[in-house]
Structure 1
């Protein structure tokens, strides 16, 4: 936060037990005060994929865990990635054990397409986990879209 940002003070009421657990968590994470921790929680909530407009351009990761012994699954996942190659920047493949693989796709594109890709991965037989995590929102593009300007 820059020095130019104005701050708004507000109160939050919580049960004592919840406050104690929160204080313990933020101390363990190294926060100096509750305000810093709450700001980070709010920032994280605001980049939750479910909270974004379908046309919003974002960057992040899709993490998946799957059983590579399931018939045709590795080929299906590779074909999906080829179908979305404009949205995938990089991939990392890790062998967790003899059966399971963890794959990380670094992605950038419209949230609607990235959600679609994540869902297509998740519904495949043999995929036990697939999640989209957004870590960056293209704010400049968002601001232009809100003013009605569109660029090719």
Structure 2
């Protein structure tokens, strides 16, 4: 991917916020942070369209809640074509953190996350997405 330089004019306060963002997120420079912010914003815009995206669903749930594991498994099974991989980590005797890598249409991934979130016993569920760039952009 070729890089094109361009100038940006910002109010002083906004530049200070950007510099704090760069420092807080350990970006090596402003350009890297701006690329991240633009890419994230574009991914969010694609959220409601049919473009293919990739990302993860993070779920925290109470394993001891009756039926929660079976319901989650059923939802995952019905959305199997979207799921790339899954990891489960026991946080303590009852809480499980599940990380599900996903790829598909943004609307389908949103539906999956909404269904997982709706299960009684799920304490937290969040979908994070990013756009998929063509391979030639990575060269």
TM-score, structure 1 as length reference: 0.76
Structure 2 gaps of 5+ residues are: none
Correspondence for 1:41: 37
Bigger share in helix: 2
On the 8 A contact 1:64/1:129 being kept in 2, the answer is yes
User: What root-mean-square deviation, in Å, do the aligned CA atoms of Structure 1 and Structure 2 show?
Assistant: 2.2
Which residue of the other structure, out of 86, 98, 101, is the alignment partner of 1:91?
Answer: 86
On the 8 A contact 2:61/2:122 being kept in 1, the answer is yes
Query: Aligned partners of 1:65 and 1:87: how far apart in 2?
Result: 20
Q: Secondary structure at the match of 1:71?
A: coil
Consecutive aligned runs of 4 or more in structure 1 exceeding 4 Å deviation = none
Correspondence for 2:19: 23
Say whether 1:124 aligns with 2:127.
no
Structure 1 gaps of 5+ residues are: 141-152
Q: Which has the larger radius of gyration?
A: 1
1:10-49 deviation digits (Å, cap 9, x = unpaired): 211142xx544542442351423x233222211122112x
